Amino acid sequence: MSRNDREFRIWRGEGGEGGFVSYRVEVNEGEVVLDLVHRLQATQAPDLAVRWNCKAGKCGSCSAEVNGRPRLLCMTRMSVLPPDEPVVLTPLRAFPSVRDLVTDVTFNYAKAREVAAFVPPAGLAPGEYRMRQEDVARSQEFRKCIECFLCQDTCHAVRDHEENKAAFAGPRFLMRVAELDMHPLDAADSTGLDRRASAQDSHGLGYCNITKCCTEVCPEHIKITDNALIPLKERVADRKYDPLVWLGSKIGRR
């Protein structure tokens, strides 16, 4: 055995049934956790299931938990992990286990489908409107999202409360609602959709209590809480306490 061997404790199993299996594997300078998973597959555990694609932090496939923290396996350098402790690899805790490190992230795609698409304004010809730079920058930040779902996995409102899943879209998709609500050209209201009301009533914005764990784990360093969730909460509150909206709701109920 090389002096640079490290112990890995990897959750192995299927459909939620299983346990930890220990391996020792050689680690070389500069390697990331996914390198070690690949070495294990090549040498000791050919049937170890892991999802990955780009190995460049851009496809969002290799999400798992390293020592209990949601991370991209391909972007986690071995050198950032405590050198004297085993490296513990587990699947994302908030989603059903498929096999070994692979989880079923269908929940996220279902939530994505619940967010109504951008509605272009009627009668606006291409090139007729010039976006302000700050509006462009806001959308660009949110669109750096690689859909790794680490934020969805870490948010306690999902992670610790399976029962919330039906009502709560999670930070990634509330960020999408925020992006659309703040888009200067979105004309969803012309279709009868009130994005702010839907953020609260359909996507569960109230479940977020601004713990910012989502922002901490985002590999794209998107300021999910400060730039999307808090502004969306402010916009929902503005709408709720707008005297005209209040009056309209009273008249509408008569």
Residue ranges in contact with ligand F3S by CB under 6 A: 155, 157, 171, 208-214, 225, 229
Question: Residue 214: which residues within 8 A CB-CB, separation 6 or more?
Answer: 151, 152, 154, 155, 171, 172, 224, 225, 229
Query: Looking at 13, 24, 31, 59, which residue binds ligand FES (CB under 6 A)?
Result: 59
Asked if 172 touches ligand SF4 (CB under 6 A), the answer is yes
Q: What share of the chain is helix, strand, coil (3-state, %, to 5)?
A: 40, 15, 45
Please, what is the minimum distance in Å from the beta carbon of residue 55 to ligand FES?
Answer: 5
133 binds, among ligand SF4, ligand F3S, ligand FES, none (CB under 5 to 8 A by kind): none
Specify the length of the chain in residues. 254
Please, what is the minimum distance in Å from the beta carbon of residue 97 to ligand F3S?
Answer: 22
Query: Looking at 53, 106, 139, 249, which residue binds ligand FES (CB under 6 A)?
Result: 53
Asked if 27 touches ligand SF4 (CB under 6 A), the answer is no
74 binds, among ligand F3S, ligand SF4, ligand FES, none (CB under 5 to 8 A by kind): ligand FES
Closer residue to ligand F3S in complex, CB, 91/170: 170
8 Å CB contact between 128 and 122: no
Residue 197 phi, psi (nearest 5): -65, -40
Interatomic CA distance for residues 26 and 4, integer angstroms: 6
Query: Looking at 10, 27, 50, 62, which residue binds ligand FES (CB under 6 A)?
Result: 62
Collapsing DSSP states into helix, strand and coil, what is residue 58?
A: coil
Closer residue to ligand SF4 in complex, CB, 40/222: 222
Interatomic CA distance for residues 189 and 230, integer angstroms: 22
Q: Are strands 102-103 and 17-26 parallel, antiparallel or unpaired?
A: unpaired
Please, what is the minimum distance in Å from the beta carbon of residue 98 to ligand FES?
Answer: 17
By CB under 6 A, name the binding residues for ligand FES: 52-55, 57-62, 72, 74
